[in-house]
Amino acid sequence: MSNQPKEIRFTKMHGAGNDYVVLDAIRDPMPDDLASFSRRVAHRNFGIGADQVLVVRNSQDADFRMDIYNADGSQVEMCGNGLRAFYKFLRDEGHTTQDAITVETLAGIQKPSAAGNNLFHVDMGLPVLEPAKIPTTLGSGDGPVLDVEIDVDGTKVTLCSVSMGNPHAVVVVDDVETAPVHTLGSAIELHPAFPNKVNVEFIQVIDRTRIKQRTWERGTGETLACGSGACAVGVTSMLRGVVDRKVTIELRGGELTIEWPDNTSSVLMTGPATTVFAGTIPLEEV
């Protein structure tokens, strides 16, 4: 017999504007089909509205596990902004009182920690620079993939690529406000050079300590922020030598600080997480 619930408790949260519906599978039974439920609940007209749905679970390998579903129902490896929201949810709901925890994701074990003043650190680990592991067909050997030209529907585009647990392509533009994020972003997401699809960041380097970023997120579309994307932007910009080893990424929904002391160190992301509201939603109404 199915344990399908009649309604689901949820918490709406965001990290620098990247918004989430958080579900607590430790406390509550989950829908039988989370992919379908995520598509419905993430819809901004007929559901709650979210870039992604985060599911809190127990883990045998870490303190907790975070399952991530895009707005189109696809499951993805990692989300840096989501990890901060996830950690805040755990603290607010009394699942942990620790100042630092470990979280299992499809990208491996992640390590969020409290930074005070509603800010949270995330140790994002080492960036993946090897093309085959990003994965991308652009380049070979150990990488990095920097300033590579590809053909996108007849247009030549120069980009960099890195994985922060999920694949990213970074495109430098003169003005992010006028960048063709929706048309070019969607085309690059599906480009055959990226077999698992790719998140696309359009960036404008302001100076050595600040970058403006817009993000086309695979399976979702343009989002107000992307934490792993900000890390990818910081890493590729540092490798290109155009910014310092600590940089502020200015996103449409807020700011994140990215630090990468050297090429052998983990990438550290610092930013906010905010609870918007909580409630219950009947299954038949989503």
Residues 124, 126: Cα–Cα separation, whole Å: 7
DSSP-derived pairing of the beta strands 64-70 and 103-105: parallel
Contact between 76 and 106 (Cβ < 8 Å): yes
Backbone angles phi, psi at 89, to 5 degrees: -60, -45
Q: How many CB atoms are closer than 10 A to CB 51?
A: 28
Q: Which residues are catalytic?
A: 79, 226
* CA–CA dist 152, 260 (Å, integer): 31
Q: Do 15 and 274 touch, CB atoms closer than 8 A?
A: yes
